[in-house]
Amino acid sequence: MSGEKLERCYQCSTCTLGCPVSPAMDYHPDQIIRMVQLGLKELVLNSSAIWLCLGCETCVARCPNEIDILRVMDTLREMSLQEKRKGKERIIPAFHRAFLYPIKVLGRQYELGLILYLKLKSGDLFGDLGLGLRMILKRKLPFIPTRIKGAKRVGEIFNKTKGISGREGD
């Protein structure tokens, strides 16, 4: 699916050793690659690892076999969404959906709306309250969003390419 030559991986674990989030993952990046080689689709697509991957590309820069591990992770995430799987890290795909929605309607990000939406979605209303207030006091979170002239076209791009926001009609 990703077009990456996964059979090249000889399990040196360089990806996992440099990964800033591997300690928090259920399966490490090298294990994910091995599991894909073995066709363990259920375990891979329901894992927390695919969502915790930060996309920092440390593994991509260091892989001796030039496997684009981020590309593999992105493909797995997209497959997981297409199959409407409810994995272990539901807040992260919910964040992505919430992040893309303002782009679909405005063409730009709307940070305050995104933060408030996530607060409601996660039920964690008071976590980071101090940080949020500091940011509002420093006028870092404007109340009024910006809408670009081409917002309609951007919305059409979403519909045409059937991104997650487009497909689910939200």
Partner 1 sequence: MKYAYYPGCSLEAALAKEYDLSVRAVSERLGIGMEELPDWNCCGASSGHSTSYLLNHAIVGRNLAIAEKQGLDIAAACPACYVRLKHTRRELKENAELREKVVESVGLPYEAKYDVRHILDVLVKDIGIETIKKKVTKPLTSLRLVSYYGCFLVRPPKVVAFDDPENPQSMDTLLAALGAEVLDWSGKVDCCGGSLALTKRDIVIRLVSELVEMARGVRAEALVAACPLCQMNIDGRQDFAADPLPVFYFTELMGLAMGERNARSWFKKHLVSPMKLLTSHGLL
95: contact with partner 1 by CB under 8 A: yes
Tokens at residue 14, please? 């360089």
Binding piece for partner 1, criterion CB under 8 A, among 5-13, 32-40, 76-84: 76-84
141 vs 18, 95, 103, 130, 137, CA distance in Å?
A: 34, 18, 17, 14, 9
Task: Measure the CA angle with vertex 25, ends 21 and 30; round to 5°.
Answer: 85
Q: What's at 151, amino acid-wise?
A: A
Q: Which of 58, 65, 105, 113 binds partner 1 (CB under 8 A)?
A: 58
Residue 149 and residue 166: Cα distance in Å, rounded?
Answer: 20
Residue of 119, 114, 100, 88 whose CA lies nearest to 26: 88
Which residue's CB is nearer to partner 1, number 38 or number 119?
119
**Nearest distance in Å: CB 134, partner 1:** 5
Name which of 29 and 102 has its Cβ closer to partner 1.
Answer: 102
Residues that bind partner 1 (CB under 8 A): 20-21, 24, 52, 54-58, 60-61, 68, 70, 73-75, 77-78, 81, 91-93, 95-97, 99-100, 102-103, 107-109, 111, 114-115, 118, 122, 127-128, 130-131, 134-135, 138-142, 146, 148-151, 153-154, 156-158, 160-164, 166
